[in-house]
Amino acid sequence: MKLFDISIYKNIIAACITGIKKTLVDRIINIIIWSSCTMLVSSYILTAFGITESFGSFQLAGLVASASFFQAYENIINLVIDFSHHRKINSWLLLPTSSLTIFAAMVTFYAITGLILGLILIPLGKILLLGRFSLMSIHWFKFFGILILSNIFFGCLSLLVAAKTTMATLGNVWHRVIFPIWFLGGFQFSWLALQKAIPGASYIFLLNPLLLINEAMRGSILGPDGYLNYWVCCAIVIAVTFVIFRAAQRALKKRLDFVI
Amino acid sequence: MITDSLLLNINNIKKKYTKGNYTKNALKGVSLEVFKGEVLALLGVNGAGKTTLSSIIASLHPATEGDILWQGTSIYTNLINYREIVSLCPQQPNFNDALTLEDNLKFAGRFFKMSETAINDRIAVLSKQFGLTEYLKQYSYVLSGGYLQRFMIARSLMHNPKLLILDEPTVGLDPHIRRELWNIIKNLKQEGITTILTTHYLDEAEYLADRVCILQNGQIKLIDKPENLKADFKKHNLEEVFLALMNEQV
| A104 CB neighbour count, 10 Å cutoff | 20
From CA A130, how far away is CA A162, in angstroms rounded? 39
B92 touches chain A (CB under 8 A): yes
Domain boundaries, chain B: 6-92+162-249
From CA B70, how far away is CA B217, in angstroms rounded? 26
pLDDT at B4: 61
Q: Do B61 and A97 touch (CB under 8 A)?
A: no
Which has the closest alpha carbon to B92: B158, B195, B172? B172
Range of the domain at A74: 6-256
- Spatial strand order in the sheet of B194-199: B86-89, B163-167, B194-199, B39-43, B211-216, B219-224
Which residues are registered as beta bridge partners of A34? none
Domain assignment of residue A1, yes or no = no
Host H or E run for residue B2 = none
Domain assignment of residue A37, yes or no = yes
Which has the closest alpha carbon to B103: B127, B128, B131? B127
Beta strands in B103-169 (DSSP E): 163-167
Q: Do B110 and A258 touch (CB under 8 A)?
A: no
Beta strands in chain B (DSSP E): 6-19, 22-35, 39-43, 65-70, 73-74, 86-89, 163-167, 194-199, 211-216, 219-224
| A127 CB neighbour count, 10 Å cutoff | 10
B98 touches chain A (CB under 8 A): yes
pLDDT at B1: 45
A62 and A218 Cβ atoms separated by less than 8 Å: yes
**What values do phi and psi take at A30, rounded to 5?**
-60, -45
pLDDT at A146: 97
pLDDT at B58: 97
User: Are β-strands B194-199 and B163-167 bridged in parallel, bridged antiparallel, or unpaired?
Assistant: parallel
- As a whole number, mean pLDDT of residues A119-144 equals 94
pLDDT at A239: 98
Sign of CA dihedral A226, A230, A231, A236: positive
From CA B244, how far away is CA A28, in angstroms rounded? 62
Residues in A touching B94 (Cβ below 8 Å)? 86-88, 90-91
**What values do phi and psi take at B165, rounded to 5?**
-110, 115
pLDDT at B233: 85
Tell me the one-letter amino acid at A139: H
In CATH terms, B6-92+162-249 corresponds, of 3.30.420.40, 1.20.1740.10, 3.40.50.720, 3.40.50.300, to 3.40.50.300
A22 and A28 Cβ atoms separated by less than 8 Å: no
Q: Which of B59, B88, B99 sits opposite A259 (nearest CB)?
A: B59
| Low-confidence spans in chain B with pLDDT less than 50 | 1-3
Q: How far is B231 from chain A (nearest CA, A)?
A: 40
Task: Enumerate residues 45 to 64 of chain B having a beta carbon within 8 A of any beta carbon in chain A.
Answer: 58-62
Q: How far out from the chain centre does Cα B228 lie?
A: 22
Residues in B touching A253 (Cβ below 8 Å)? none
Tens-place pLDDT, residues A176-216: 999 999 999 999 999 999 999 999 899 999 999 999 999 99
Of all residues in chain A, what percent carry a pLDDT higher than 70? 100
Tens-place pLDDT, residues A234-258: 999 999 999 999 999 999 999 999 9
